[in-house]
Chains A and B, each alone.
Chain A
Amino acid sequence: MNPLKKFLFELQEISILSFGALMALFTKPRYIPETIKQMDLVGVGSLPIVILTGFFTGGVLVLQTFPTLSYYSAQGQAGEAVATALVRELGPVLCALMVSGRIGSAISAELGSMVVSQQIDAMRALGTDPVRKLVAPRIFALILLLPLLTVAADVFGIIGGGVIASNIYNQDTNVFITSVRNGIETQDILGGIIKPVFFGLIIGGVSCYRGLSTRGGTVGVGLSTTSAVVQGSIAVIIFDFFLSKALQTILDLGRL
């Protein structure tokens, strides 16, 4: 199969799998305990790394932009710069990349191992649909919790920025907070929450497909895991561009 054909085929399979999983949420049987378990893994499990990533990203943004802003006597805008960058772009994307690395790899490895040890076949033989039992809870957990994790990354990013601004550049905390409040609008927050919904779907779809299409024993599991993280992350970054453009138009965001 030539690369273009393979790409289109995989895109089609991922779309069908994701669509099937989403449709399974509306009909019985639903696997609520499995969904809660996945929500715990995705949400609670990823919270520490997302908070750390957000905090230090916010901090480094202030660290890098403050001197330039000072040069133009615009250091009062530091909060606005950090908040806008984080809420619109860095929060959703960094959070998605962290979750893609942590959860995407785990999903792919788990499903891949189940494929090579015939557990998926056994599940089907016992009358259970693996898409309903395994894929739907994972995609649902990602769609629901990635926006919440993004909010956590945004908040801790702004806190990180504030800590650096006040401790290293001696900016008054109130000035920073006021700048943040002036900088972000409802549409920014809305856009920053809509994006991770799609990212969750992408990460879930890609990693579940990679896991379920594993071939070739333990070596295959390793390859699937790598592919899930790499392809999931690249897809998030590419899709982010088009989604940003679409949101700019729909929510009237970031116009000059």
Chain B
Amino acid sequence: MQASPQDFAENPDQQDFLQPIDRTDRMIPAIEFRDVELSFDDKKILDGVSFEVRKGETKIILGRSGGGKSTIIRMILGLLKPDAGQILVDGEDITAYTEKEMMGVRQHIGMVFQEGALFDSLSVYENVAYRLHEQHIDEETVEKEVRRMLRFVDLEDAIDKMPIELSGGMRRRVGIARALVGDPTIVMFDEPTAGLDPPTARTICELAIKLRDLEDVSSIFVTHEMNNLDYLSSEYATVDDDGNVIFEEEGEKICMINTRVMMLRDGKIIFSGSDEELRRTEDPYILRFIRGK
């Protein structure tokens, strides 16, 4: 994760960001699927799925429950292995990686689970610090990093609470903070707004927008809620003169919001493109999905 403008203001040593940056590695997709197939028993879960997520891009994966959306992100993490095809992360073919080799890949990937998947026996602090404690980093650095991440999700006050004391939305936000520790270059959201009230769902989407526009994180956002798509594809985050993060609507301005949409149906990609293209489609299945009737 790159430093925010506030960080630069606080720490002048980091101002070497003004130096020229080698952009050649940005040509390599953060995630690439090549003709991936997966079946459970006789049921095809993924059928020849190919797509790529570019560096800094947010890919929204839409589709009905059970359509294979969550399977895709589980495969990127190596929690499931494909029957055929290739999966590349930062240009590295991870398809045949062992569990041990995957541990290294997972260090660069953050994952936000549907219900947060916080460890019940650990406090919010210990949950967010989990990855750092595993790496035996000194406690002072850990606390600094945990507080920074909890500030990012606006939950620093909950640092000493146990997961059971948190609301659903707070659990997801702690889950996001935990996923962001260690500055992953790829973050995956598995239906992070499912079952949340609209303002909390909006907060979660804002966090994803901040990650995309201010932190240059590549992400996959699995959802079946159309308002998530609206937020992520029509708004962008920027920093005002006072250093505050603000969200602006695309409106009539010409701007390139770095978000692409993909839709799955029965394990196959039936749409891939921008949100405008999605709304212009005449496919009856997609139209029914968008309109909900």
Contacts and interface: CB of A to CB of B under 8 A. Distances in A.
Interface of A: 29, 113, 117-119, 121-129
A123 B130 CA distance: 9
Interface in B203-226: none
Contact-residue size bin, chain B (C-beta under 8 Å from the other chain): 20 to 34
Contact of B134 (A117, A122, A127): A127
B81 interface: no
B231 interface: no
Interface in B85-134: 99-100, 103, 106-107, 109, 111, 113-115, 117-120, 130-131, 134
A125 B178 CA distance: 11
B130 A126 contact: yes
B131 A124 contact: no
A126 B106 contact: yes
A127 B131 contact: yes
A125 B109 contact: yes
Given A121-B74, A121-B79, A127 B117 contact: no
Contact of A119 (B78, B111, B117): B117
A-B pairs with lowest CB-CB distance, top 10: A122-B117, A118-B117, A125-B111, A127-B106, A118-B113, A127-B103, A126-B131, A125-B77, A119-B117, A127-B107
A119 B120 contact: yes
Interface of B: 74, 77-79, 99-100, 103, 106-107, 109, 111, 113-115, 117-120, 130-131, 134, 178
A118 B120 CA distance: 11
Nearest to A125: B111
Contacts of B115: 117-118
A163 B105 CA distance: 63
B120 A129 contact: no
Most buried by A among B99, B111, B117, B120: B117
Contacts of B117: 117-119, 121-122
B77 A124 contact: yes
A118 B130 CA distance: 16
Contacts of B114: 118
Nearest to B109: A125
B142 to A, nearest CB: 14
A172 B79 CA distance: 66
A122 B107 contact: no
Nearest to A124: B79
A126 B99 contact: no
Nearest to B188: A125
Contacts of B103: 127, 129
Nearest to B73: A125
A119 B79 CA distance: 13
Nearest to A37: B121
24 contacts: A29-B134, A113-B120, A118-B115, A119-B118, A119-B119, A119-B120, A121-B74, A121-B117, A122-B118, A124-B77, A124-B78, A125-B77, A125-B79, A125-B106, A125-B109, A125-B111, A126-B106, A126-B131, A126-B134, A126-B178, A127-B107, A128-B130, A128-B134, A129-B100
A124 B117 CA distance: 12
A118 B178 CA distance: 14
A44 to B, nearest CB: 18
Contacts of B100: 129
B211 to A, nearest CB: 17
A121 B79 CA distance: 7
A125 B78 CA distance: 9
A70 B113 CA distance: 69
A126 B106 CA distance: 7
A123 B102 CA distance: 13
A128 B134 CA distance: 8
B109 to A, nearest CB: 7
A1 to B, nearest CB: 10
Contacts of A129: 99-100, 103
Contacts of A126: 106, 130-131, 134, 178
